[in-house]
Amino acid sequence: MYLKKIVLKNIKCFNELTLDFTDTPLWKVLLGQNGLGKSTLLQAIGVVLAGPEALRELLPVADGWVRQGQAYGEIEAELIWTKGDTLLSGPPKKSYQVRYLVTGKEPVSLPESFLEYHTIPTITPWAGLDEAREQFITDMKFLTKTAYAEGQTGWLGCGYGPFRRLSGGGREADHILYGKRKSARFITLFREDAALTSAQSWLIELYNTAREGGAREARALEQVKAALADHLFPQPTQLHLNAREAWLQIGDKAPVHFQDLSDGYRSMLSTAIDLLYWLIKAFPDEPEPMKCPGVVLIDELDAHTHPGWQRHQGNWLRAKFPNIQFIVATHSPFLAQVAEHGEDNIVLEDRGSLGVLPRTNVEAVETWRVDQILTDLFDLPSTYHPEVEARLKRHQQLHQARQQARSLSPSDEQEYQRLTLWRVNQIPPAIEEPEQRRAALALIKAVDKHQAELKELL
């Protein structure tokens, strides 16, 4: 399963947002300042991947989802069938459309098709009122028996929130997690009190069953060990197990219990093991489940990780799971570098009354430096410390005044000389910024164009 398109109407900070993943579907990075809906967008995608039954556990009350001042909202999506996904009969369609209605707290008159008043905020499937209504009804019936049904193979979708930990989950969240239903795949995306506590217990279960002759479990355990050993972490890593416990050996250090690992290690470890679990469960007969397709959502992929680690996170995920469609949110410029195409980085911006929308014409930044990415894609006015930036601005003001008036007051001249000396001795030479780079590229293109025109004349 892949996500082809997602549409949000009147959902939180979004007035109307459409994202089409048709051309470059397998790696998308959500960027933007805090409060611009990155987590909301991931949860909305989680809604269409999880399905109505799972939503009853994950989000029984959808409080605050409807955009202020609106009666209701809509979430619409297109899902693509992939090899290994369950089919009822006949060949698959090109895509399957789903639509959900989102209601708010206030009693509002919903579209006539509902013929009722809703007073509890909820998200529920509906076909809408347009010409495509019958198609939505047909596709939802199909997905209810396949993608949204328990026990069907394929149709992999998983979602991970920013709090990906191995312990400390709430009782209700643990109940959902250990139920191993569709809802468990998205528990941390919707519940901050959830922990991926089942990761360690699953490994121990594999170990014990493999010892008793379980061939499938032995194969799965070897796949997990190989994945962890192959550059998941900055240093070589080995998984050690016995009948009751699990340890991780990092480099040449002594093995460490899972719960004693740092937050960064636990976050990445729990996510990787949980994803491997669901891949193996979704594709039980595949000899290489890590190469199977699916959609994986990760909020704040860089959480708790050192920048040196962030440089490799995205590339590792893409290399180890080459057919997974990853949609991740991050504040890390290193993860923005992973995108091969400019449109793979979705930069969310506040457009006032239009709501939050993606920036257009985003460039690929694979070859950019971190400071260039931070000032361009992350909208930082400067990468200098604020006090240093203020001194640089003051120096620029005095420099311009000096050029215009050709002289300064004695005190201003003294300040200017002092700041000039400080700038020469303390500030590294100016480096090319993205705007300068664009201007240079435009100039090169113009020169090339004129040269081509001259050749035609000659």
Q: Tell me: the pLDDT tens digits for 332-363?
A: 999 999 888 888 999 999 999 899 999 998 88
Per-residue pLDDT band for 432 (boundaries 50, 70, 90) equals low
The average confidence (pLDDT) of the chain is 86
The domains of the chain are located at 157-292, 386-457
Q: Say whether pLDDT at 276 is over 70.
A: yes
Give backbone dihedrals phi and psi of 143, rounded to 5 degrees, phi first.
-70, -30
For residue 167, the model assigns a pLDDT of: 67
- Retrieve residue 314's tokens: 């995205």
pLDDT exceeds cutoff 80 at 170:
no
CA 429 to CA 378: how far, in whole Å? 23
Q: What is the mean pLDDT of residues 430-446?
A: 65
**How far is C-alpha 42 from the chain's CA centre?**
7
Distance CA 268, CA 301 (A): 9
Predicted confidence band of residue 18 (pLDDT cuts 50, 70, 90): very high
SS3 333: helix
Contact call for residues 180 and 274 (beta carbons, < 8 A):
no
Q: Pick the residue with more confidence: 268 or 113?
A: 268
Higher pLDDT, 192 or 30: 30
Give percent above pLDDT 90 in the chain: 38
Question: Which residue type is seen at 234?
Answer: P
More confident residue, 317 or 367: 317
Tokens 């026990």, residue? Answer: 151
Share of the chain above pLDDT 70, in %: 93
**Contacts by residues 13-17 (CB-CB < 8 Å, ≥ 24 positions apart):** 13/37, 13/40, 13/67, 13/350, 13/355, 13/356, 14/40, 14/41, 14/67, 14/355, 14/356, 15/67, 15/353, 15/354, 15/355, 15/356, 16/355, 17/41, 17/355, 17/356, 17/357, 17/358
pLDDT for 215 beyond 50: yes
Higher pLDDT, 319 or 325: 325
What mean pLDDT comes out for the span 172-180? Answer: 80
Strands across the sheet containing 123-125: 14-20, 2-11, 72-80, 96-103, 123-125
Listed in sequence order, the residues at least 6 apart from 422 whose beta carbon sits closer than 8 Å to its beta carbon are 391
169-173, 378-382, 397-401 — most confident range: 397-401
pLDDT of 94 > 60? The answer is yes
- CA angle 118/122/125 to nearest 5° reads 100
pLDDT at 458: 67
**What is residue 431's predicted lDDT score, i.e. its pLDDT?**
56
Q: Both tokens of residue 49?
A: 């991947």
Take residue 74 and report the two structure tokens written for it.
């809509």
Place of tokens 């708010």: 104
Give pLDDT tens digits for 226-247.
Answer: 888 877 777 888 899 999 888 9
**Closest by Cα among 197, 203, 236, 232 to 218:** 203
pTM of the model: 0.85
What pLDDT digit, counting tens, does each position of 187-202 carry? 999 988 887 767 788 8
In tens, the pLDDT along 100-142 reads: 999 887 655 565 555 455 567 888 888 877 777 888 999 999 9
For 210, the token pair is: 């493999």
The residue with greater pLDDT, 294 or 267, is 294
- pLDDT for residue 180: 83
